[in-house]
Amino acid sequence: MTSSSHSSASTTLGAEVTPRHIAIIMDGNGRWARRRGVPVAQGHKEGGEAVQRCVRAALKNEVPFLTLYAFSSENWRRSHEEVGELTSLLRFYLKHKLADLHRQGVRLRIIGEPEHFGAAVCQELQRAEEKTAQNKRLTMLLALSYGGRAEMVGAARSLACKVEAGLLHADDIDEAALSASLQTHDIPDPDVIVRTSGEKRLSNFLLWQSAYAELIFLEKLWPDFQESDFSEIIKRYARRQRRFGGRPSGEEKASS
């Protein structure tokens, strides 16, 4: 399925409509730590525990795609110390938690520009992707050094190179062509994008892919995220009527 497809964007489990792809902006680790008077590193560590709860909930609810915004391209503006702590935490989870993900049937995919973390981290990420490549229960995309605008610039540059090489005509560039050039080209668009911490913005996250996503904003900080919150997201999604620019069901008859 390409990222521009909506026809099978959600699946029915029992009486409920379950989103096929949930994407989460995991916000609030620093505020969680400051409110408790503990180091920010502790907030990031607790955020890592919330990630594990989120993955368990996705598996339990049979959601096949989960994208987590772990580190944005703008996060490099943070202090050298905090970036180092985040990098160390990432390497810890790759070393100590990857086996659990693999055993649970989770496929790990990386989007963004992880090369900015250095060769050693990139090699570990590549090994993790290769180790879990054949898993089918859940595809978890980890957005690292990711920016939606940068992703679209990369897609446009790729298409321009094809035109320049005579492999593509400019008139053939349409939405499908651009979608096929994104890093998420083989992943369905998110049905719902969630942000924790009470902030209500996308912050350069999946800008192209979120065109028709339902948006859900949670007041709680990411380290406080529980499996029950994941279930509530699914319930809230099921209550919404997705139109993709069309009229709601039955409206055309009523207006005719």
Catalytic residues: 27, 75
Does 31 count as an annotated binding residue? yes
Question: What element of type H or E holds 132?
Answer: helix 119-132
Tokens 């800008």 found at: 207
Does 28 count as an annotated binding residue? yes
Name the CA dihedral angle for 208, 237, 51, 197, rounded to a multiple of 10 degrees. Answer: 80
Does 179 count as an annotated binding residue? no
* Sheet with 138-146, edge to edge strand ranges: 106-112, 138-146, 65-72, 21-25, 192-195, 214-217
Does 91 count as an annotated binding residue? no
Does 199 count as an annotated binding residue? no
Amino acid at 102: H
Q: How far apart are CA 123 and CA 207, in angstroms?
A: 28
Tokens 């192209």 found at: 208
8 A C-beta contact, residue 23 and residue 32? no
Does 166 count as an annotated binding residue? no
Does 73 count as an annotated binding residue? yes
Does 53 count as an annotated binding residue? no
Does 231 count as an annotated binding residue? no
Task: Extract the annotated binding site.
Answer: 27-32, 44, 72-74, 76, 78, 195, 201-203, 214
Task: Extract the annotated binding site for substrate.
Answer: 28-32, 44, 72-74, 76, 78, 195, 201-203
Task: Extract the annotated binding site for Mg(2+).
Answer: 27, 214
